[in-house]
């Protein structure tokens, strides 16, 4: 019997033509590496808390948010007075050559120090550009906060997916081990029957072929176990040992509440940090238009200055001038070669782009919510159906074994029944973990409190 491969499951490709003993040694070596690694027991909540503290991606997002928040105080600073002090001191060595009244050459050497100091205070009074800049900076801060919130919500999903991928890989490894044990028993029985004269060589070959395939699959699954654990360790920043598994006595999958898709879409649109970030970017783009248009408007500053100059020229050696001034400075733009008009058109196009990105994200969000909503609602039905399929497959195995003893079934029939049972168990485990992953993603999209969502799912786990 064949089954479709799901992305969470490794491909169980055809066995290579290699000795079974070699496969067994390789599998044992991989298992030894896993056992020898330093480990610690962990559940989903502990994994999430470790990821919050150690994940490099989330730390990078926090640093990016901190950097973007600084744009607001930078913009507000431009509304405050600007105070500058300049000072200079120079040594002058002046040599002048002239002719006296008799027409004879005359050389004069003059060496002296000169200096200047100036204190300037400039207070913006009317600058439309700064007003738009401050409002744009406020929108940028909102964008930074929303982007960080999106990364934190994404961390919940990343941890959950990595955790349950690791669990699924371990469960599949256990199924492969049970299947290997069954095929080994079947092979021994076939050999004994053949030796007693009641079996056939075909029975031995079929059991041996299934066992060889199982060895190859076991090695592949063990490698996937190591990979999924390494992935979880990368997120949590800590070695991973025993993972808390789903406690089937506690695990009671149910439909999402409320059980109305439109309600979840509405909640997601209101709470989605991605939508909030894009709205803030649209607002910032609109203020960019105001900034560009400010290039056509005059500016008015109040300017106060105190300056002192000493020996500022050769004709004023050993003299000093103090100057104090206060007044207004008006600047009126007249012509800039079309630069301002171009920046306005550019800002308008950027705002239109931000508006369309927001609409596209809103539509995509509804699709994502729909997918996860169906993942939960259909997951409940699928889990129930697969639980019944497992019971039927187990009964089929017993029936085939009894019929085989009675001579009504062949070894191939028994092997096929065992394969069907393993496939049903694998599909059931996969359906359970996909349901949990869909639940996490749906709650994340709807903006549910992250720690509460993790704690709720963690109650379904047990070490």
SS3 5: coil
Considering all CA atoms of the chain, what is the largest pairwise distance in Å, rounded to the nearest integer? 146
Total-model pTM: 0.78
Is a pLDDT exceeding 50 seen at residue 106? Answer: yes
pLDDT at 20: 36
**Which comes out higher in pLDDT, residue 240 or 74?**
74
Tell me the C-alpha distance between 214 and 56, whole Å: 38
Neighbouring C-beta atoms of residue 343, cutoff 10 Å: 17
Q: Which residue is listed with tokens 């600073």?
A: 77
Is a pLDDT exceeding 60 seen at residue 92? Answer: yes
**pLDDT tens digits along 328-356:** 999 999 998 999 999 999 999 999 999 99
pLDDT at 151: 93
Tell me the C-alpha distance between 55 and 463, whole Å: 24
Tell me the C-alpha distance between 154 and 165, whole Å: 16
Q: Calculate mean pLDDT across residues 12-20.
A: 38
Positive or negative, the CA dihedral 257, 262, 263, 267 is positive
Q: Are 278 and 357 in contact (CB under 8 A)?
A: yes
Q: Calculate mean pLDDT across residues 384-388.
A: 95
**pLDDT tens digits along 186-220:** 888 888 888 888 778 888 888 899 889 999 989 99
pLDDT at 67: 97
- Could you tell me what percent of the chain has a pLDDT over 90? 64
Tell me the C-alpha distance between 458 and 274, whole Å: 26
Q: How far is CA 379 from the centre of its chain?
A: 26
Show the domains of the chain with their CATH numbers.
20-78+128-296+336-462 (1.20.1600.10), 81-126+298-332 (2.20.200)
pLDDT at 293: 94
């Amino acid at each position: 019997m064949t089954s479709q491969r799901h992305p969470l499951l490794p491909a169980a490709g055809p066995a290579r033509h290699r000795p079974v003993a070699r496969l067994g040694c390789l599998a044992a070596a991989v298992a030894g590496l896993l056992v020898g690694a330093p480990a610690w027991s962990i559940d989903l909540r502990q994994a999430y808390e470790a990821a919050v503290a150690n994940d490099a991606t989330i730390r990078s997002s926090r640093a990016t948010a901190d950097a973007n928040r600084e744009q607001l105080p930078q913009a507000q600073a431009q509304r405050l007075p600007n105070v500058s002090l300049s000072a200079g001191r120079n040594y002058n060595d002046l040599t002048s050559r002239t002719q006296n009244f008799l027409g004879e050459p005359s050389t004069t050497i003059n060496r002296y120090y000169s200096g200047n100091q100036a204190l300037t205070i400039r207070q913006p009074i009317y600058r439309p550009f700064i007003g738009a800049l401050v409002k744009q900076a406020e929108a940028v801060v909102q964008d930074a906060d929303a982007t960080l919130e999106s990364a934190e919500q994404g961390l919940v999903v990343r941890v959950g997916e990595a955790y349950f991928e690791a669990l699924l890989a371990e469960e599949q490894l256990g199924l492969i081990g049970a299947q290997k044990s069954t095929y080994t028993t079947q092979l021994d029985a076939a050999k004994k029957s053949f030796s007693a004269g009641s079996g056939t060589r075909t029975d031995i070959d079929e059991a041996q072929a299934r066992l060889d395939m199982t060895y190859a699959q076991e090695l592949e699954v063990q490698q996937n176990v190591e990979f999924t654990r390494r992935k979880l360790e990368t997120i949590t920043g800590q070695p991973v040992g025993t993972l808390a598994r789903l406690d089937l006595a506690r695990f009671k999958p149910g439909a999402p509440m409320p059980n109305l898709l439109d309600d979840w879409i509405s909640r997601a649109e209101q709470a989605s940090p991605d939508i909030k970030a894009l709205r803030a970017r649209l607002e910032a783009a609109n203020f960019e238009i105001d900034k560009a248009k400010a290039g056509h408007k005059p500016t008015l500053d109040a300017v106060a200055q105190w300056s002192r100059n000493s020996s500022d020229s050769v004709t004023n050696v050993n003299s000093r001038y103090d100057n104090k001034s206060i007044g207004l400075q008006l600047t009126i733009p007249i012509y800039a070669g079309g630069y301002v008009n171009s920046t306005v058109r550019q800002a308008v196009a950027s705002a239109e782009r931000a508006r369309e990105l927001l609409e596209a994200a809103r539509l995509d969000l509804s699709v994502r919510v729909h997918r996860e909503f169906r993942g939960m609602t259909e997951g409940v039905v699928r889990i129930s159906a697969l639980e019944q399929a497992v019971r039927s497959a187990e009964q089929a195995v017993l029936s085939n074994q009894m019929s085989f003893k009675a001579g009504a079934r062949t070894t191939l029939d028994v092997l096929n029944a065992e394969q069907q049972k393993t496939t049903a168990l694998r599909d059931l485990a996969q359906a359970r973990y996909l349901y949990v992953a869909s639940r996490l993603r749906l709650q994340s999209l709807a903006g549910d409190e992250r720690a509460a969502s993790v704690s709720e799912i963690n109650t379904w786990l047990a070490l």
